[in-house]
Amino acid sequence: MGILDSKIPSGPLADKWTKHKNDINLVNPANKRNIDIIVVGTGLAGGAASATLAELGYNVKTFCYQDSPRRAHSIAAQGGINAAKNYQGDGDSNYRLFYDTIKGGDYRSREANVYRLAEVSGNIIDQCVAQGVPFAREYGGMLDNRSFGGVLVSRTFYAKGQTGQQLLLGAYAAMNRQINRGKIQAFNRHEMMDLVLVDGKARGIIARNLVNGEIERHSAHAVVLATGGYGNVFFLSTNAMGSNVMAAWRAHRKGAFFANPCFTQIHPTCIPVSGDHQSKLTLMSESLRNDGRIWVPKKKEDAIAIREGKLKPTELAEEDRDYYLERRYPAFGNLVPRDVASRAAKERCDAGFGVNKTGEAVFLDFASAIERYGKEKALTSGFKNPDKATITKLGEEVVEAKYGNLFQMYEKIVDQNPYKTPMMIYPAVHYTMGGLWVDYNLQTTIPGCYAAGEANFSDHGANRLGASALMQGLADGYFVLPYTIGDYLSDDIRTGAIPTDSKEFEEAEQQVRERMEKLTGGSGIHSVDYYHKKLGKIMWNKCGMARNEKELKEAIKEISALRKDFWENVKVPGSIDSKNQELEKAGRVADFLELGELFAKDALERNESCGGHFREEYQTEEGEALRDDKNFKYVAAWEYKGEPKDAKLHKEDLVYENIELKTRSYK
């Protein structure tokens, strides 16, 4: 256990996946019915994997803490899913999707994994269309595409602003078919509390029934973790409030290496923080950057006047506006990658040009798009010399058809009409590129324990391109894991059912109970949220959009002290043997307090800037990320040693045989 063997197949890049599928072991269909698989998490990765594995004949148990798989956080994805179909005829290909993903990740991801992702992307669209996912279509009936940040082609398939929801419904329907057949046993409102190892292999989990508090033992021949990311370590993020790192962290404590924890994505288009009362942030889809133009006033006095309510943004003349992304990155304009757009917004706000009351917001303006679309619609509708009001009305109808639910959501939250006045946006924590280290088969360093989707680190390097999360989740679930897991399970066809009355299950359950009793045994001075908010402020201020050595060292000490105080003084009312939502939160925050320190340690260790990891000491004259390919072209995989400060670093060197490493430029 613990040796980094990525198991990347030999041979040409474009042939690796085909060769690998031909070389790995398979399980006979008649033997699959004798093999059990646990899947923790039922979002896109977990739902797709569960449905596919059950369809193949395996016996599957699914676990999610929500009351239904339909409430997985995948539902919140808005803008779209990437695939190299080249329907637009604009030069897209598997290689270009592969290249854009590697470049977008600032050359910190595995070539083989990313090429495979690009290779199977087209299959995902075919699968989802067959399931009835209502992708947008163009006039001729073909599936429509739009562009996302960091690319020069249109490859993003979408279902208005509800793409994640529609894709999840497809996976959920496929799961329901297997539940009906008895091939999936669904355990909703259950939380994985620990991973159980028997003879060094993952053989089951300890789960807690969140309705009645009962502790349950569940065994299997393999365990798949598809539990999403850890963005809620920042407290305020675009993640669902229940999103957590517990399953992945339990596996980490049992021997699964945790890779690149400091690689976290800050999304540039979120509704700004309005005050300390907030418990989460709301994402405005990156698809809005297709048509919205981002700007701040050119003059500080205008920015101050807007902040104080003395000047409306619509009153500011065009020549007094700074469309700073178009100015700084003319080739990509408003569609630069997320890390670039986020840092640029922070720089303008830090310089005093922010436009909301706190000075931490920029404008996302649709006036130009409304006028452009209105003129086009007027022409195609036969209007001669339409007046401005008609053009505006027609343009708003086009924008509503493309983004209507997003505009409606913004208006409900902010109480401003984005058709009439520019949206205000600011960067927020969104996605985590780090996660459990996995090999080419998606297996962690624990035999029999797999990680899929955002729970693993494998495809996005130091920054994820927009619309690639849904692509990875469904690729892993539908088209990768169902092949690769058979290579491992082929040795288990004579193993028989795994008993749950062994000493390993007994010890794991006892450890879970002791941990919960310790959580409820604090002195009761502060609430769980008190500690979570404190941790979030440390993380955002010292490990957020920009980091430096001094503050990272401070963060490590502060988080360690906060964790000590948490275990001594947290107040968790109620018992462990009944429904107890404070206990649920306490367990999750306890893990965040360990992860947060490892996050800071990883960021301190990586003396370079790359993608979402921006060290202030390492930047170009223009303020862009400055990589150090000589010393840091590796995956940082951390081995658990009892305390985050004692974690042991292992390095997987990244080999680039098909791409030349360049300074990443979007100008």
Question: What span, in angstroms and rounded, lies between the C-alpha atoms of 287 and 291?
Answer: 8
Are the C-beta atoms of residues 361 and 307 closer than 8 Å to each other?
no
Shortest CA distance to 5 belongs to which of 317, 340, 447, 414? 447
Between the alpha carbon of residue 369 and those of residues 277, 289, 313, 365, 596, the distances in Å are 35, 11, 16, 8, 42
Burial readout 569-591 (b: 16 or more C-beta within 10 A, e: otherwise): ebebeeebeeebebbbbbbbbbb
Residue 350 three-state SS = helix
Tokens of 619: 């930047």
Beta strands in 128-274 (DSSP E): 156-157, 184-188, 190-198, 201-209, 215-219, 222-225, 258-259, 264-270
Q: Position 329: which residue type?
A: Y
Are the C-beta atoms of residues 497 and 203 closer than 8 Å to each other?
no
Question: What span, in angstroms and rounded, lies between the C-alpha atoms of 326 and 304?
Answer: 23
Active site residue 110: no
Are the C-beta atoms of residues 247 and 225 closer than 8 Å to each other?
yes
Half-sphere exposure of 292 (CA within 13 A, CB side): 28
What does the DSSP assignment read for 590-606? HHHHHHHHHHHHHHHH-
Shortest CA distance to 209 belongs to which of 60, 42, 63? 63
* Cβ count within 10 A of residue 167: 30
What does the DSSP assignment read for 245-291? SHHHHHHHHTT--EE-TT-EEEEEEEPPP--TT-S---B--GGGGGT
What does the DSSP assignment read for 641-664? -SSGGGPEEEEEE---SSS-----
CA 174 from centroid of its chain's CA atoms:
23
Q: Position 205: which residue type?
A: I
**Which long-range contacts does 131-136 make (Cβ < 8 Å, 24+ apart)?**
131/170, 131/173, 131/174, 132/170, 132/173, 133/159, 133/166, 133/167, 133/169, 133/170, 134/159, 134/166, 135/159, 135/166, 136/160
Are the C-beta atoms of residues 184 and 57 closer than 8 Å to each other?
no
The continuous run of DSSP H or E covering 154 comes out as none
* Residue 175 dihedral angles phi and psi, to the nearest 5°: -65, -45
* Cβ count within 10 A of residue 163: 28
Q: CA 256, 470, 91: angle at the middle one, nearest 5?
A: 120
How do strand 222-225 and strand 423-432 relate by DSSP bridges?
Answer: unpaired
- Catalytic one among 110, 146, 321, 338? 338
How do strand 222-225 and strand 449-451 relate by DSSP bridges?
Answer: parallel
Q: Position 435: which residue type?
A: G
Question: What span, in angstroms and rounded, lies between the C-alpha atoms of 464 and 339?
Answer: 9
Are the C-beta atoms of residues 404 and 410 closer than 8 Å to each other?
no
How do strand 321-322 and strand 293-297 relate by DSSP bridges?
Answer: antiparallel
Question: What span, in angstroms and rounded, lies between the C-alpha atoms of 90 and 421?
Answer: 33
Just list the catalytic residues: 338
